[in-house]
Structure 1
Amino acid sequence: MKLYLIAGERSGDLHGSNLTKALKAKDSTLLLRGFGGDEMKKAGVDIFVHYEQLAFMGFVALLTNIFTIFKYIRLCKNDIAEFKPDAIILIDYGGFNRRIAKYGKKRGIKVFYYITPKVWAWYQSRAFELQRNIDRMFVILPFEKNFFKEKCNWDVDYVGNPVLDAIKSFNPDPDFGIKNRIDRSKKIVALLPGSRKMELKRIVPLMAEVVKQNPGYQFIVAAVSNLSTGLYGELATIENVKFVKDASYDLLTMADAAIVTSGTATLETGIFKVPQVVVYKMGALEYQLVSRLVKVKFISLVNLIAGKEVIKELIQDAAQQEQVNSELQLLLSDTHYRSTMLAEYSSIFKTLDTGSASENTARLMLEALK
């Protein structure tokens, strides 16, 4: 049996690799090919295009690279036609994968979607498009199942959250602190600015301002190895800042608090029980467009899952040094504030913990292909 997987981002590569391992554990004869990254390759996927060639974030970046994106959509369609898979497995990356879903449906190929596009946040009418083109949808947030049922009477599968899979299988490095010369006598603040260049460009200067106001804390940046240190700007020159690469989980096991760019990292930080504040900025034009389209109250997964504000979100004009620093002091010094947040984290964990998302999804996919 042949399967074609498509992941267009770093997080999708990680979740795609865990899904691949689960699929191969159930059927070692599977042939897998597609778009992805190093983790999927290590798991056994023949990578046709690396996701780094597709990592465009935001409306402006998408518009300026639109011809490149359409080129890769054409390449993807041609490769699928040549590979002749029994099913296409789409992993997040909505703008690209929605087009491939339509293509697969027209060619009579089964189409599975793992980690749905966030149509509940904006463009809710696209739920109907997904329903037309997807044979089976596997969602990872509890409220998504209710959304699709209420919006278009579509029964989708809630399989659990793959972030829990990754964290449960994580083995902390006992020598992490020593290797990175982390000063445990100081409070440790994790900085998670994301892995996209445009996010770094807007968030790093803000983080640097906060760091300079707090020389008594040890700030540690969760960097990624595929980005040059130069992208972290002034943070790389400040004395009480250290960098660790591809080790955010190890960092979170030691952190007293965190400043996080919205994304999967907010949920990971919550599961590691680290008090956090979320900061996010985008271009002015992009913000105006997004603010008119968004249908949800929050941007962080922690708050979305809880259905209320558990962690402070400082977005756009609210993402200023004074506000971030004020929240950071609360996170580090207010015992009641911290304990309330940690209790909410525990409730979220219980909601998400339904077993292995990767194994649940692999089982359901293979059953559907029998």
Structure 2
Amino acid sequence: MSKRSTMTMAAVAVVCAVTVLVAPGAAFAAPAPPASPDPSSSPSASASAPPSASAPVETKDLEAVRKKIEKLYHDAAVATDAYNLAEEKADKQSVEIVKLAQKIAAGQEKLDRLEASAAAAAREQYRTGGIPREAQFLLSGDPQQFLDNAGRMHQGQLATKNLLGQMERTQKDLSEYAADASAKWKDLEQGRKKKAAAKKKVEKQIKEAQALESRLEKKELERLAKLEAEAARKAQTAWLSSGVLKDIDGKATQAGKEAVKFATAQIGKPYVWGAEGPKSFDCSGLTSQAWAAAGKPIPRTSQEQWKQLEHIDVKDMRPGDLVIYFDDASHVGMYVGDGSIIHAPRPGRNVTVAGAGTMDILGVVRPDA
């Protein structure tokens, strides 16, 4: 098979492959809430579930359930970040592959034109018996005609050399584009596998947490909610008692005000992992979309927001800054002033206002530094 045919097939293959990848049907949907499982079918749930569905649950046992559920949702948040990062990379790689495919197609068209010019020159040489028309004029006895035709012949030689050089460079470019597209395609396939693995883990953790909650009676669920609220209140009180709030007096920038305005408008919308609006959000989907609405695109995931955005001391934070939580940067909320954040907490919860100190703060980052 000729190199030209190989290049053409490569361009077509890349375009077709990318079209399949970015088709709407290939997107992952958020998992539907599972049906209440059989108590005997989930070993991990049984280990943390109340002893009997009819017997009241001791407070200490319910607290253990709360911590177990909290850990499961935390692990789901970590997996969600991995899923979101893989999705973000896949989107970028898809765009790059499409651009390469366009370059391959344009390069092939250019090569076709150059080959047509070369073929025309070859046909002209054949018609003149192998001697270029200009070279035949060199045999003329007229000195002026000789000089004129010598100049034309030199220009023709330069044009031929330039034509061959362009063909060689274009073929080299096509080879490089094809190799680059192939490498990015492999990366895209690896990212797809990581995304699928992360999706599976997210679903597993959420189902286990929901299974634990489904085992509780209505009154126990109410007590569980009170325990969650009490734990958050104690954490916020301890944070405020440190005196940190008296040092926080930063004023929001115009972009920060726009980001806060966007986040505030989303209050009440449900948390859905992997979602970035407009009807539902996960934690970093909310913050990234809020800053996009303010005209400042930022990384999609809380971990990348922590890695890439400028770090700010807690005492210097201002509305619009992002508070990153836990050692693995698996959660994020937007500071809105008065010691509060707006965030998308976890599955089963809605976007809400909470105390900035209700979770373990890793640090603060500033999108518009």
Would the TM-score normalized by the shorter structure come out above 0.5? no
Q: TM-score, with normalisation over the residues of structure 1?
A: 0.24
Write 1 or 2 for the structure with the bigger share of strand. Answer: 1
Who wins on radius of gyration, i.e. which is larger? Answer: 2
The structure, 1 or 2, with the larger RCO (C-alpha pairs under 8 Å, 6+ apart) is: 2
Write 1 or 2 for the structure with the bigger share of helix. Answer: 2
